[in-house]
């Protein structure tokens, strides 16, 4: 029987610092065994436990899209022991991963619908996965309009800057970037994500909203979506909790009777409303 605690060996293919504060680093991992690579199937919104022997494990949303074959990307905020190690790890080094874990975004539901993606700060990772996935030539026709609102505190803190530039050029994707505080070269919007959302006022008709960001942003975005008449069942968000096992055994990440690692991390607002406010 498969041991769900055994990490799959991968190797760091590429790594780069994303932001001017140097707190966010994206690592691209390749499978050491081809077999592992082939059997690893995931959907946007799922996560993995990254494992560095001697330091431990920590959960990270998968930032790459299932359409980007052969490797996995993760963007890591430097905070604790494992994330610091992940910031120091060199290209070519081995790393373990366990996953894919969790449920992911309900991409089947999105078929034939418009998708509104709202992101803030470094929680944009799994949203990148979603956007790349949906806008892939193979999938683009399956959904209607794609609108992306993405904000960060400062222009330098936006993730995936080169890709953002490319997305801006696309005509099948509407991208609105905003920062809390601009600088001399910033040409985009200045303002908080909930306010920018209110101003952009995307139609809720036939549309699903996906939000991921710091708790405070999510908290203030929900009412704005309500005002735009998004029904609860069509708003999805990804929760973050302290996790260890990632498979619903170790306790700790539950919200009510549901486990963020196993039953989430993606929940609809309708689900969250029924759960205790324990997050």
Partner 1 sequence: MKLKLDKNELKPFLQSLIEDYDVYAPVELKEGVSIYKKIDQPEEINLNLLNPQKPVKEVFFPQSEVMLRYERAGKRSQVALMEEVVRERVIFGARPCDIQAISVIDEVFLGKDYTDVYFLHKRKASTIIGIACNHPLSTCFCSSTGGDPFSRKGSDLFFIDLGEAYIAELLTEKGMAFRENRFFKEASSEDLTLAQQIEEKASKKTDASLPIDGIEKRLDQMMESPFWDRIHEKCIGCGICTLLCPTCHCFDIMDEDLAGKGQRVRNWDSCLSTLYSQETSGHNPRPTGRERTRQRLMHKFNYFLKNFGRIACVGCGRCILYCPVNFDIRQVIKEIQKAGDS
Using CB under 8 A as the binding rule, whether residue 14 contacts partner 1 is answered as: no
Of the candidates 4, 3, 105, 10, the residue with the CA atom closest to the CA atom of residue 50: 10
Using CB under 8 A as the binding rule, whether residue 93 contacts partner 1 is answered as: yes
Partners of 52 in beta bridges: 56
x/- binding map, residues 235-274, to partner 1, per CB under 8 A? -----xxx-xx-xxxxxxxxxxx----x------------
Using CB under 8 A as the binding rule, whether residue 277 contacts partner 1 is answered as: yes
x/- binding map, residues 21-60, to partner 1, per CB under 8 A? --------------------------------xxxxxx--
DSSP secondary structure letters along 133-182: HHTSHHHHTTS--EEEEEEESSGGG-S-HHHHHHHHH-SSSEEEEEESS-
Which is nearer to partner 1, 88 or 242 (by Cβ)?
A: 242
Which is nearer to partner 1, 5 or 183 (by Cβ)?
A: 5
Which is nearer to partner 1, 134 or 261 (by Cβ)?
A: 261
Using CB under 8 A as the binding rule, whether residue 278 contacts partner 1 is answered as: yes
Residues whose CB falls within 8 Å of the CB of residue 11, separated by 6 or more in sequence, listed in order: 29, 30, 32, 92, 93, 94, 95
CB of 87 to partner 1, least distance (A): 13
Using CB under 8 A as the binding rule, whether residue 182 contacts partner 1 is answered as: no
Residues whose CB falls within 8 Å of the CB of residue 79, separated by 6 or more in sequence, listed in order: none
Partners of 255 in beta bridges: 258
DSSP secondary structure letters along 101-116: ES----HHHHTTSEEE
Which is nearer to partner 1, 18 or 110 (by Cβ)?
A: 18
Which is nearer to partner 1, 70 or 276 (by Cβ)?
A: 276
Using CB under 8 A as the binding rule, whether residue 88 contacts partner 1 is answered as: no
Structure tokens at 134: 């949906």
Question: How many residues bind to partner 1 according to rule CB under 8 A?
Answer: 44
Q: How far is CA 208 from CA 108, 140, 188, 226, 232, in A?
A: 12, 15, 25, 12, 10
Which is nearer to partner 1, 235 or 253 (by Cβ)?
A: 253
Q: Which of residues 201-230 bind partner 1 (CB under 8 A)?
A: 215
Q: How far is CA 60 from CA 6, 33, 74, 279, in A?
A: 17, 21, 7, 18
Interface with partner 1 (CB under 8 A) = 1-7, 9, 11, 53-58, 79-80, 83, 92-94, 96, 215, 240-242, 244-245, 247-257, 262, 276-279
């Amino acid at each position: 029987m498969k041991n769900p605690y055994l990490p799959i060996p991968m190797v760091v293919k590429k790594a780069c610092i994303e932001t001017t504060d140097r707190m966010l680093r994206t690592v691209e991992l390749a499978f050491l065994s081809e077999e592992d690579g082939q059997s690893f199937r995931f959907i946007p919104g799922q996560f993995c436990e990254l494992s560095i022997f001697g330091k431990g494990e920590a959960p990270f949303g998968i930032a790459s899209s299932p359409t980007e074959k052969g490797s996995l990307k993760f963007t890591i905020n430097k905070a604790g022991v494992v994330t610091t190690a992940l910031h120091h790890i060199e290209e070519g080094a081995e790393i373990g991963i366990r996953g894919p874990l969790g449920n992911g975004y309900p991409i089947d539901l999105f078929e034939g619908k418009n998708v509104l993606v709202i992101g803030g700060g470094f929680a944009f990772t799994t949203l990148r996965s979603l956007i790349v996935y949906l806008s892939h030539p193979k999938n683009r026709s399956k959904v209607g309009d794609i609108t992306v609102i993405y904000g960060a505190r400062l222009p330098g803190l936006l993730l995936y800057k080169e890709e953002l530039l490319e997305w801006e050029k696309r005509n099948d994707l509407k991208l609105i970037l905003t920062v809390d505080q601009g600088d001399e070269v910033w040409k985009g919007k200045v303002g908080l994500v909930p306010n920018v959302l209110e101003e952009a006022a995307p139609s809720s008709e036939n549309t699903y909203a996906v939000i991921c960001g710091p708790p405070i942003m999510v908290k203030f975005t929900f009412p704005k979506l309500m005002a735009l008449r998004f029904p609860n069942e069509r708003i999805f968000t990804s929760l973050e909790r302290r996790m260890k096992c990632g498979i619903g055994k170790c306790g700790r990440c539950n919200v009510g009777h549901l486990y963020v690692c196993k039953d989430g991390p993606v929940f609809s607002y309708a689900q969250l409303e029924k759960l205790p406010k324990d997050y």
